[in-house]
Chain A
Amino acid sequence: MRFGFVLNFNDRAGQEVELHHQPDAGSGIYLPNVKTFVYTTPQSKPRGIAHEARRRRCLEIMTVYGFTDWRFFYGTSSSPYWVGIPKDHARLLRENEPPLLILEDDIEPRAFCANVTPPAGAEVVYLGGGRGGDMGGINAARHAGLPLKRTYGYGYELIDADWMRVYGMLYSHAILWLDKRVMLEAAQLLDSQRRPIDGTIASAQWRWQTACRIVPMFWQRDGHHRGETFDYAPIPDWAKRKILVPCRKRA
């Protein structure tokens, strides 16, 4: 029996993506029962209108996917806006136990499935990532002797068809935290550094077992991260050879 809804969301190409919600399939962590915070910002004009729409959309998503232990977290107002966000996340990481899912209010589902089985030993799980990266995080992983590859702006090791370990990957719109020690370590970093939250975490990813979905469960529909968070799967070597190299030669 199919329990959930079938919804049609318009994807970036204008095609309809059919999403099936099948919480009784498979095993692992059942996401709708995981304690979840949706990070949003307090009402402010003129951005408040956009945030209202985002909150409405989140309410739909959380209802459709059956999340039963979630709430909005209203972040601290600050200028620039990103200064307060790391402190808020640090607080959430300190005050809550794993598993803990922190979503941002501009998420949009792509390939959501309720049951998720992270790779063995995973401590941090990106349910959605992106193409952007932090060179400091990639270099730190290299210096640590980790066998990473590069694609787009981030470093990675493929784990299986669904997962990769990532190094220096930006974005923080859908992170599942599975280890309290790592949560406290991240909280300390977030409190001590004055930079956007995803940069801080990206720079330290190599220290943790950070797994990322190759096809995102959530992408970031904030108006400017559209393509890079919808499809960031590593470019396979054959594609680099057949497509990218000839293009370079022509140039």
Chain B
Amino acid sequence: MKLLTFYSPSHEPLVRRLLASRLEEFSVVCRQVPQGDSKGSYGARGYKQLVHGKASIIEEEFTEDLVFADADVVFLRPSLAAFVEDLGDAECAFQRDAADACAGLFILRYTQRCRALVRSWVEMLATPEYLVESNAYDQDALNRLLRATRFPYAWLGPRFVNPWTLTGKHWDGQPLSIPAETVAFHANWCIGVDAKARLLEMASAAAHADSD
């Protein structure tokens, strides 16, 4: 199965960590995108253009069953079985991000409906409403599509962790207790490359401690 990630130069330290993590079950595709005028931080100037390009990259690489992981994800253990188990009979499964499906960690089956979903996602992000006037980002667009079409997706379960799944709030530097069964940790719910790097360090350390 293909695992796709992408990064801008500002996120290279994060993607290096991702690529060094437990990805041995996947055929990994890592795409670099130009930094543009973005610092890469959530909500910063240029962030919108950066994440809008993500959907296009996913569409280009969506030629078989696909796992997509943002650069701020790290795989602590082999995860393919967990992905497949959580996916079940659905055609796609997303990490939980509060009430939303997370656009930063998900699995897609290569089906007509999933291809249509990705195509529509790309088109939605290219509409004037999203491109210019709205403050909504790629994840908002994806969730709007999922809800409007009642797309039958599944959730990735508690083995796919982020600060929200652990605490229900943003991460502001507090220690996190990372469950031993965690297969993937997503350092969202914090802003800035440095904060993400600290979170990922914490997750990796927890995994090493468990394996010792």
Q: Decide whether A and B assemble into one complex.
A: yes
Q: Does A71 contact B (CB under 8 A)?
A: yes
In the bound complex, residues from chain B placing their C-beta under 8 Å from that of A4 are 113
Q: Is the CB of A66 within 8 A of B126?
A: no
Most chain B CB within 10 A, of A5, A43, A63, A66, is at: A63
Interface mask (A1-38 → B, CB under 8 Å = 1, otherwise 0)? 00111010000000000000001000000001000000
Q: Does B98 contact A (CB under 8 A)?
A: no
Q: Is the CB of B120 within 8 A of A62?
A: yes
Contact partner of B150 among A5, A43, A68, CB < 8 A?
Answer: A5
Q: Is the CB of B129 within 8 A of A7?
A: no
In the bound complex, residues from chain B placing their C-beta under 8 Å from that of A64 are 149
- A residues 33-90 near B (Cβ < 8 Å) are 42-43, 48, 52, 55-56, 59-60, 62-72
Q: Is the CB of B126 within 8 A of A72?
A: yes
Q: Is the CB of B132 within 8 A of A68?
A: no
Contact partner of B116 among A52, A68, A72, CB < 8 A?
Answer: A68
Q: How far does the alpha carbon of A159 sit from the alpha carbon of B150 in the complex, in Å?
A: 37
Interface mask (B127-160 → A, CB under 8 Å = 1, otherwise 0)? 1110011000000000011001111000000000
Most chain A CB within 10 A, of B123, B132, B133, B151, is at: B123
A44 to chain B, nearest CB (A): 9
A5-B150, A23-B112, A32-B112 as given contacts; A62 in contact with B129, CB under 8 Å: no
B134 to chain A, nearest CB (A): 9
Q: Is the CB of B117 within 8 A of A63?
A: yes
Q: How far does the alpha carbon of A52 sit from the alpha carbon of B144 in the complex, in Å?
A: 14
Q: Is the CB of B112 within 8 A of A72?
A: no
Q: Does B39 contact A (CB under 8 A)?
A: no
Q: Does B124 contact A (CB under 8 A)?
A: yes
In the bound complex, residues from chain B placing their C-beta under 8 Å from that of A68 are 112, 115-116, 119
Q: Is the CB of A70 within 8 A of B119?
A: yes
- B residues 29-87 near A (Cβ < 8 Å) are none
Q: How far does the alpha carbon of A177 sit from the alpha carbon of B110 in the complex, in Å?
A: 28
Q: Is the CB of B116 within 8 A of A59?
A: no
In the bound complex, residues from chain A placing their C-beta under 8 Å from that of B144 are 56
Q: Is the CB of A63 within 8 A of B116?
A: yes
Q: How far does the alpha carbon of A52 sit from the alpha carbon of B129 in the complex, in Å?
A: 7
In the bound complex, residues from chain B placing their C-beta under 8 Å from that of A65 are 116
A43-B133, A52-B129, A70-B119 as given contacts; A59 in contact with B150, CB under 8 Å: no
Contact partner of A63 among B128, B129, B149, CB < 8 A?
Answer: B149
Q: How far does the alpha carbon of A3 sit from the alpha carbon of B124 in the complex, in Å?
A: 24
In the bound complex, residues from chain A placing their C-beta under 8 Å from that of B116 are 32, 62-63, 65-68
In the bound complex, residues from chain A placing their C-beta under 8 Å from that of B113 are 3-4, 63, 66
A59-B145, A63-B149, A63-B151 as given contacts; A42 in contact with B119, CB under 8 Å: no
A67-B119, A68-B119, A72-B127 as given contacts; A56 in contact with B148, CB under 8 Å: yes
A20 to chain B, nearest CB (A): 14
A201 to chain B, nearest CB (A): 26
In the bound complex, residues from chain B placing their C-beta under 8 Å from that of A67 are 116, 119-120
Q: Is the CB of B115 within 8 A of A59?
A: no
A60, closest chain B residue (CB): B148
Q: Is the CB of A42 within 8 A of B145?
A: no
B117 to chain A, nearest CB (A): 6
Complex A-B, nearest 10 residue pairs according to Cβ-Cβ distance, in ascending order: A43-B128, A63-B120, A66-B112, A66-B116, A68-B115, A60-B148, A63-B149, A59-B120, A52-B129, A64-B149
> What residues of chain A have their CB less than 8 Å away from a CB belonging to chain B?
3-5, 7, 23, 32, 42-43, 48, 52, 55-56, 59-60, 62-72
A sample of 17 cross-chain residue pairs with beta-carbon separation below 8 angstroms, ordered by A number, consists of A3-B112, A4-B113, A5-B149, A43-B129, A55-B127, A59-B123, A59-B148, A60-B149, A63-B120, A63-B145, A63-B148, A63-B151, A68-B112, A68-B115, A68-B119, A70-B119, A72-B127
Q: Add 9 more A-B contacts to A55-B127, A66-B116 (CB < 8 A).
A: A3-B112, A7-B150, A52-B128, A55-B129, A59-B145, A60-B145, A63-B113, A63-B151, A71-B119
